[in-house]
Amino acid sequence: MANTLLGERGILGVFVMLPMQVSAEDFPTFITGLRALKNFGGAVVSMPHKIATANLIDELTPEARLVGAVNVIRRNGDGCLIGTMLDGEGFVSGLVAAGHCVKGARILLVGAGGAASAIAFALAKHGCASLCIQNRTLDRASALSERVRHAYPHLEVSTAIQATSHYDIAVNGTSLGMKADDDLPISKSFIGCCDLIADCVIAPEMTKLLQEAANQGKAIQTGVPMLAAQMALMLAFMGAE
């Protein structure tokens, strides 16, 4: 997607995006190496490195500082690495472009990692009526809820699902769905309590969660619009204009 945009702008070759697979164990060393790579302009950071990146680079934008995670970095000429977070705005932009409304919506968010955190703050910023955050580790869900509540004190934020709960939008902000044998992040029975099921997983585009939701006649949103909405912003941040 990035290289297609660079080609359309006539600057593919001046800039090119390459995939780099790095283990969590080697990630700090990898970041150190990027400082020394003089023809490195920037990088898009994916799971599971978004939170770690925020603690390894030199400077964070206000958005990244609020979320505590980074999904794109750039290298200045002096080797300084600066990071921002665009997952949240990208997710909301993708929803709006598809004709869905965040303002006034009751939303369930599954996950409390870097992407989920960014989405939580963006949903609050864009005026959702309530936000329920679920995570396999309750402490992380509670911590994210407190941070969102502190930034948006008038928003109804919780970590508890009631028996009568109904949500306009349910969001998978976890990596569940990337592997064929992953559990569903939202149970089959609870999908029926949600009008729209949105996933942040990009590959496969049609996850088991979305397929199940479609089978139940629910509206769905894949993870691709979130990335597409961000890509031009990411390239601009990295200096590829």
Q: Which domains does the chain have, with CATH numbers?
A: 2-86+227-237 (3.40.50.10860), 88-226 (3.40.50.720)
**Which pLDDT does position 162 carry in this prediction?**
78
**Which pLDDT does position 132 carry in this prediction?**
97
Q: Mind listing the pLDDT tens digit of every residue in the chain (241 residues)?
A: 999 999 999 999 999 999 999 999 999 999 999 999 999 999 999 988 999 999 999 999 999 999 999 999 999 988 999 999 999 999 999 999 999 999 999 999 999 999 999 999 999 999 999 999 999 999 999 999 999 999 999 999 999 987 788 999 999 999 999 999 999 999 999 999 999 999 999 999 999 999 999 999 999 999 999 999 999 999 999 999 8
**Which pLDDT does position 241 carry in this prediction?**
81
E strands present in the chain = 42-44, 59-60, 72-75, 81-84, 106-110, 130-134, 156-158, 167-172, 194-199, 219-221
**Which pLDDT does position 139 carry in this prediction?**
96
Cβ-proximal residues to 193 (8 Å cutoff; 6+ apart), any chain: 165, 166, 167
| Catalytically annotated residue among 50, 103, 125, 188 | 50
DSSP assignment of 77-92, as one string? Answer: TTS-EEEE--HHHHHH
Report d(CA 40, CA 74) in Å as an integer. Answer: 8
The yes-or-no answer on residue 50 being catalytic is yes
CB atoms under 10 Å from CB of 42, counted, come to: 22
Report d(CA 58, CA 13) in Å as an integer. Answer: 28
Yes or no: say if 111 and 140 are a contact pair by the CB < 8 Å rule: no
**Which pLDDT does position 47 carry in this prediction?**
85
Report d(CA 105, CA 17) in Å as an integer. Answer: 37
**Which pLDDT does position 143 carry in this prediction?**
97
Q: For residue 48, what is the DSSP state?
A: T
